[in-house]
A and B are shown apart, each in its own frame.
Chain A
């Protein structure tokens, strides 16, 4: 899979629920529709939460990777 270059990176590492999702909802507004936001988080709950957030807001979760205790979410803004 080719590398997707994000338009913005949100570092939510060290933040606890509900912050990763709250910050994502704020940061997504700073990119244009069609652009990519990458979110880094350490909260294990964020795996389910970011996915649920995308489903609820209609944005697309392109990929979710886990490495070294850090989760990397790549999200495309759809609206």
Chain B
């Protein structure tokens, strides 16, 4: 029986608080269960890795987009965000049930050795430079890297 560790590969395309939480909970659990876990952040998912209070964008559209890009504390639920009210309400409900915050989950993932990777192409298109993303980001990669990892993974998810 092969002694290769099992692998888990998650694409985080969404920038919604609820979806990103699901991704981090599964990633931390997979890592806690001995799986080599990678998270590949692309498009809106890059918000989960964005540093606070950094602006992005070089050209006009990039700069306009920058207004709408949030960081991990400010992304809202996929439904019922209601201008931020929903996000606040969900956070209150989760806090009452002692559910870990997104920021805590991200740190836990880092502590457990989950590989955080970012998509080169979406960073380019959205004009998000490497410096705008957290230092714990392991590497900026392309689709082939994800596909190679996914080929070897027992669990692959698109969030």
Query: By DSSP majority rule, is chain A's interface helix, strand, loop, or mixed?
Result: helix
CB distance from B7 to the nearest CB of A (A): 13
What total of A-B pairs shows CB separation below 8 Å? 40
User: What does the 1/0 interface line of A9-45 toward B look like (CB < 8 Å)?
Assistant: 0000011111101101110000000000000000000
Q: A2 at the A/B interface (Cβ < 8 Å)? A: no
Chain B contact residue count (CB 8 A cutoff): 15
Residues of A within 8 A of B97 (CB): 16
Residues of B within 8 A of A53 (CB): 32-33
CB atoms of B28 and A22 under 8 A apart? yes
CB atoms of B100 and A52 under 8 A apart? no
Q: Which of B31, B32, B35 has the most CB of A within 10 A?
A: B32
Residues of B within 8 A of A52 (CB): 33
CB distance from A48 to the nearest CB of B (A): 12
Residues of B within 8 A of A63 (CB): none
CB distance from B147 to the nearest CB of A (A): 25
Residues of A within 8 A of B159 (CB): none
Residues of A within 8 A of B79 (CB): none
CB atoms of A18 and B98 under 8 A apart? no
Residues of B within 8 A of A7 (CB): none
Q: B108 at the A/B interface (Cβ < 8 Å)? A: yes
For B27, give the chain A residue with the smallest CB separation: A18
Q: Complex Cα distance A21/B30, Å?
A: 10
Known: A17-B25, A22-B29, A56-B33. 4 other contacts (CB 8 A): A21-B29, A25-B31, A25-B32, A53-B32
Query: Interface on B for A, CB 8 Å cutoff?
Result: 6, 25, 28-29, 31-35, 97-100, 108, 112
